[in-house]
Structures are given as C-alpha cells and as structure tokens.
Structure 1
Amino acid sequence: MARKSPLDDPQKAAYAWARYRRLMRFMLLLTIGVVALALALLYKQGSAATVHFYIATALGIGFTMLLTGGLMGLVFLSSGTGHDESVTDLSDEHDRKD
C-alpha cells in the first residue's frame, strides 16, 4: 500500500504550488530577457535574415527554456515536498518473490 504523500495536505500543497508558480514567473522573465538579447545580437550582426528567422529563433529559445524550467520545477516540487519518499518501490518485493 502506498504511503500518504505530503502533497495530500492542502496547506503543504498550496505552499509547494505557490513556490512552483514563483519559479515559473522567474523563468518567464529570464526567458524574455534571453530571447530579447538573442534577437538583439542577431539584428546587430546585420545579416540578411528574414522576419521568419527571428520568429523561429524567439519561439525556439522561448519554448525550450520554459519547457526545461517547467520540468525542472516539477522535479524540485516533488523532491522538496517529500513526495518522492512516499512512493513505494514494488520492484524489491517482486525480486524477493522470485
């Protein structure tokens, strides 16, 4: 039987999700800054790139950074709340039966 997760407590869950949202706001601001810097550097080089190149660059950098930040934030949320420790490893029990 699975142990109770600390995220089952509404107060702990609210605190953890608030921390996750704060992390994502920071990542959004950082992403906007990095995208703006990258676009400014590309524009400053004076290459003959089209507007589609700038849009693809902005979307590629933005999507990658936000996805990475979101997934890492979920790892921090799971580990920081003790949710990882509440998971039972059933593979050990299966190995002992063999």
Structure 2
Amino acid sequence: MVGKSPLDDPEKAAYAWARYRRLMRFMLLFTIGIVAIAMALLYKYNGMVSVHFYIAVALGMGFMMLLTSALMGLVFLSNGTGHDASVDNNLPRHNED
C-alpha cells in the first residue's frame, strides 16, 4: 500500500510549487547574467569569430544551466515536501534458483 504524499494536500502543494517557481525565476536571472558575462569574455579574448558561434554558445550554456536547475529544483521539491518519505520501498523478495 502506498502512503499519502504531502503533495496531495493542495495547500502544501501550492506552497511547494510557488517555492519551485521562485527558484526557477532566480535561476533564469542568474543564467542570463552568466551567459552575458561569458559572451563578453569570449568577445574580449576571441574577437568577432562568427555570430553562429556566439548563438550556439549562448543557447548551449543557457539550456544546460536551466535544465540542470529545473531537475535539481524538482529533487529539492520532492525531498523538501516529504514526498520521498511517502514511497513504499518494501518490494517482495525475488529468489533466483
């Protein structure tokens, strides 16, 4: 039998998702800042190579940072609300002969 998750409570779920959205807004602003600094440093040390180079680097860095922060934010959300503790890990034993 699976226990009830704290995320089943609408009030707790609303608070947890609001905290997640706040974290993602912060990470979006942080990502924009880091990408801008990286673009400035690349231009300073390499000059104008190709506009496609700068677009690819900006999109790659931005996507990687936002995806990483989204996944880590979901880990924090799951652990911080007690959702992980509600999982039943009692699996039946499987004996191989």
Shorter-normalised TM range: over 0.9
- 2:76 is aligned with 1:76: yes
Q: Percent identity?
A: 71
What value does the CA root-mean-square deviation take over the aligned residues? 1.2
Counterpart residue number, 1:31: 31
Q: Which residues of 2 match residues 49-60 of structure 1 at below 5 A?
A: 49-60=49-60
- CA deviations 1:53-91 (Å, max 9, x no partner) are 000000000000000000000000000000000010143
Give the residue type in structure 1 aligned to 2:71.
Answer: L
Structure ranking higher in helix proportion = 1
In 1: Cα distance, 2:8 partner to 2:48 partner = 55
Report the TM-score when normalising by structure 2.
0.93
Task: Structure 2: give runs of 5+ residues left out of the alignment.
Answer: none
* Stretches of 4+ aligned residues off by more than 3 angstroms: none
Gaps spanning 5+ residues in structure 1: where? none
Q: How many Å apart are 1:48 and its aligned residue?
A: 4.5
Offset of residue 45 of structure 1 = 1.3
* CA displacement at 1:3 relative to structure 2: 0.3
Q: Does 1:16 align with 2:20?
A: no
| TM-score relative to the length of structure 1 | 0.92
Which whole-Å deviations, capped at 9, do the CAs of 1:19-72 have from their partners, x for residues lacking one?
Answer: 000000010000000000000001111435100000000000000000000000
